[in-house]
Amino acid sequence: MITPQLPHNTPLYEQVCELIETRIIEGDLRVGDKLPTEKEMAEIYQVSRTVIREAMKALKEKGWIDTRVAKGTFVVDNVDKRVRASFDAVLRMDEAHGFSNLIEVREILEPEVAALVATRANNTQRDKLQQAINQMDRALEHQVNIEAFLNGDFTFHVLLAESTGNPLIPMIISPLFKLMRHQQAYYSSIVKEAPQRSQVNHKLIMGAIVNFDPAAARRAMQEHIRQVRTEVEAYGLATSERSQPNSSPDEITG
């Protein structure tokens, strides 16, 4: 085996960590692959077992690997967890505008997601989206716990992201929705018939996708998120106050 070339000017454990990260990113190591033992890795990278131990700790904190008792260390897919943790840290810095900021990101991203899905989704993806719609219908019809409706809601929006065919989009959308879950539960519990109104818009989005109509899908998603913003602001769950730029748009260049 060729000894990997370690980078320079950083602690040894960080060098080993970087090399293993690179192998995962490039696909040489895949999700589910078992890493060599601590002793074997020390021999591969020609460092001490203490260095390997520190590198494994760093990789685990970053979400790249997980250790299973009596089984070994495996590559895992915790990108979602890492992204969500980063978003959560940012939101905690400005909790007063947290919900508003999340909604604003949705306003930017999701209408175009819906438009893409209307042109790209295959039959299997459309069927899964319809199943999520049906799940929300059943939750509303039988007046079960709001959690059942929110599960269907989450599934629907994540499936939309996945149905774009762009793997980066669900990596962004999924953490956003997981952050919003507790806020959505509170919002849905105090805003009268909010889930019912959301479901009307979900069905309009679905109808546009079934009809391969990206413009209609975009409009329906815009209306869906606009409805959410209007209601949460009316109940004081978010603020519409935003800082205004010092210059008008015409004065901004570059």
- List pLDDT tens digits, range 201-214: 999 999 999 999 99
Instruction: Return all residues near 131 (Cβ < 8 A) that are at least 6 apart.
Output: none
The model's confidence at residue 89, banded by pLDDT at 50, 70 and 90, is: low
Mean pLDDT of 120-140: 96
User: Of residues 249 and 119, which shows the higher confidence score?
Assistant: 119
Q: pTM of the predicted model, to two decimals? A: 0.65
Tokens, residue 26: 């490039």
CA atoms 117, 118, 122, 126: torsion sign: positive
Longest C-alpha distance within the chain, in Å?
65
The model's confidence at residue 181, banded by pLDDT at 50, 70 and 90, is: confident
* Other Cβ atoms within 10 Å of 175 Cβ, number: 20
* Other Cβ atoms within 10 Å of 206 Cβ, number: 21
- Residue identified by tokens 């509170």 is 186
Neighbouring-strand partners of residue 34: 74
- Residue identified by tokens 């889930």 is 195
- 73: helix, coil or strand? strand
Residue-by-residue DSSP string for 5-54 = ---SSS-HHHHHHHHHHHHHHTTSS-TTPBPPPHHHHHHHHTS-HHHHHH
- List pLDDT tens digits, range 7-55: 556 789 999 998 998 888 777 888 889 999 999 999 999 999 999 999 9
Q: Helix 194-210 crosses helix 146-163 at what angle (to 10 degrees)?
A: 30
Distance of CA 185 to the CA centre of its chain: 18
Mean pLDDT (the chain) is 83
